[in-house]
Amino acid sequence: MLSNQTKKQIKSLWKDYLRQGKRVLDKNGVEYEEIDQKRLVAIEDIKKIINTFFDGESDVYSFKTSIDSYNKRNNLWGFTAIKGQMFFNQLVRAYDEDISTLDSLLKDVIKEPRNLKEALSKIEKLETELYDSYVNASDKRKVPKPSSVCYFLSYFWQVQDREKWAILYSSIINAFSELNIWEDKTTQKETYEYFYVINEEIKTFLSSETNSKITNWDVEHCFWNIHLNSIKEDVVKEKTVSEKVNAPVETKTLIKANFDINDYLIPKVSNLVELGEDTDKSASEKGSLFEKKVSEVFKLLDFEVISYGQGTGRNPDAIIKFREEDTAFIVDAKAYSNGYNLGLDDRAIREYIYHFCPKLIKESYKKIGFIIVSNSFKSDFEAFINDITWNTDIKRFILLTSSALLHLLAYKTKDNLQVTQIIDSLIKLGTLITEEEIIGEFEDV
């Protein structure tokens, strides 16, 4: 399957990987220190969680929660993203009224296969189980996607035998595509079989070239670096083009979404960041337009939105609600081109909280947060936020960049995200949420 030319490329890539000291970087360019050693420790912990489920000592709900909790603390395989934990959450929701069926199904398919034939059979079983429900669903956001099956199962299999089972990451497919050795397949079963064969051939070739044992993790890390280099090249190209037309560009990080977010944004809101940078409009006009666009984005995210904004007195720009989880956020939009600083808004924010929290509580909203949306922030407001979350009914205070908000909408549209998933992610990410955090949360691994 590998041509001589492809083998030369792979050999060259491996040499580059060795020259870099086998360093493995995350999407932000930060090194994963001793990732393989940490994985070895984590595997033993995760095996205990899996075996507890297999032995009937925990149910599906506890199993899901335990896996989620562990990977959030030790995100060494990217399982916290869409094809991992999010897929798992959707599975449980889809079978909530027939959880015993899911219990039996999961115990069968996540148990390590004896061979590739059995692995493909398990993939086909889960994919077939989900296919009709997904195709016929009136709202595909509420059902698990069959396209996540390969990653989901191969993660659990690798935990049980890291030498035998390679995980099918979207990033490694992208890397294989860069080398022109990837062919898209119709089913998940065909996809994993094709990937497995290529991966084994690469391991065999590199083992013979290096006179050493090449593992699944070796190939994964080497080809992950190819994926990162591709991201870097895209950023450099964008920067070069932007500079040629004298357009402002933000290049604070190497991380990028694997798609053009503008393909999933309507024109009405797509220029939110540019509006925030505008220096020609009056502050009043710019602020009013910015507030309206922010409210529109939250509507497109399927929140119930009550807009206030300029001309309504001392009110926040919007209140957004999601009744299903009794969750609400007070939203303030700040169209500051040079970064937003708290300044005198301290008092205004407190007034919004003291005025609206009692009303929301009276309406039975049990979880209330505060979101400030701006292109950028001059500080993290740590002392102020600690005071607010300690002494008021605000449970979560979020600084959300405009770009992060648009990326959130793009992922919601592309991947049919539910409001519950969006809220869960906003809650678990840091106080300052940038586009990098959103990409890291929702990008296919």
What integer is the mean pLDDT of 378-398? 88
Q: Give the end of a domain, one of 182, 216, 232.
A: 232
pLDDT tens-digit series, residues 3-12: 999 999 999 9
Segment 15-19 shows an average pLDDT of 91
Kindly report the number of other CB atoms within 10 A of residue 25's CB atom.
Answer: 15
Regarding whether 396 and 324 lie in a shared domain, the answer is yes
pLDDT score recorded for residue 134: 87
Quickly state the pLDDT bin for 159 (edges 50, 70, 90).
Answer: very high
Mean pLDDT of 89-103: 91
Long-range CB pairs of 134-143, under 8 A, 24+ apart, other chains included: 139/416, 140/416, 141/416, 141/417, 141/418, 142/90, 142/93, 142/94, 142/418, 143/90, 143/94
Residue 344 has what pLDDT? 61
Domain boundary residue, one of 191, 215, 232:
232
User: Which residue range forms the structural domain that includes residue 195?
Assistant: 4-232
Does the predicted model carry a pTM greater than 0.75?
A: no
Considering the domain architecture, whether residues 294 and 428 belong to the same structural domain is answered as yes
CATH of the domain at 284: 3.40.91.30
Tell me the pLDDT tens digit for each residue of 275-307.
Answer: 998 888 888 889 999 999 999 999 999 999 999
Q: Is the dihedral of CA 158, 162, 166, 169 positive or negative?
A: positive
Same domain, 311 and 201: no
pLDDT computed for residue 61 by the predictor: 93
Q: What is the pLDDT of residue 392?
A: 94
d(CA 370, CA 373): 10
The answer to whether residue 402 scores a pLDDT higher than 90 is yes
Evaluate if residue 92 carries a pLDDT over 50: yes
Residue 184 and residue 322 share a domain = no
108 and 12 in a single domain? The answer is yes
Q: What is the mean pLDDT of residues 123-128?
A: 97
Q: Does a structural domain hold residue 243? A: no
252 has pLDDT over 50: no
Interhelix angle 188-210/216-244, nearest 10 degrees = 100
User: What's the CA gap between 188 and 144, in Å, rounded?
Assistant: 14
Please give the pLDDT value at position 205: 96
Q: Does one domain contain both 376 and 333? A: yes
Average pLDDT of the residues of the chain: 88
Q: Do 113 and 208 fall into the same domain?
A: yes
Q: What is the mean pLDDT of residues 358-375?
A: 95
In 3D space, the residue among 106, 111, 88, 196 whose CA is nearest the CA of residue 160 turns out to be 111
pLDDT at residue number 23: 86
Q: 92-96, 223-227, 280-284, 345-349: which has the minimum mean pLDDT?
A: 223-227
Let me know whether 278 and 204 are in one domain: no
Please tell me the total count of domains within the chain.
2
Which residue has better confidence, 429 or 37?
37
Q: Are 177 and 265 in a shared domain?
A: no
> 303 and 205, same structural domain?
no
pLDDT in tens, 22-79: 888 876 677 888 999 999 999 999 999 999 999 999 999 999 999 998 998 898 998 9
pLDDT-based confidence at residue 250 (cuts at 50, 70, 90): very low
Whether residue 256 lies inside any domain: the answer is no
User: Residue 233: exposed, middle, or buried by beta-carbon count in 10 A (0-12, 13-18, 19+)?
Assistant: exposed
Is the pLDDT at 211 greater than 90? The verdict is yes
Residue 290's pLDDT is 95
- Percent of the chain past pLDDT 70, that is, above it, reads 89
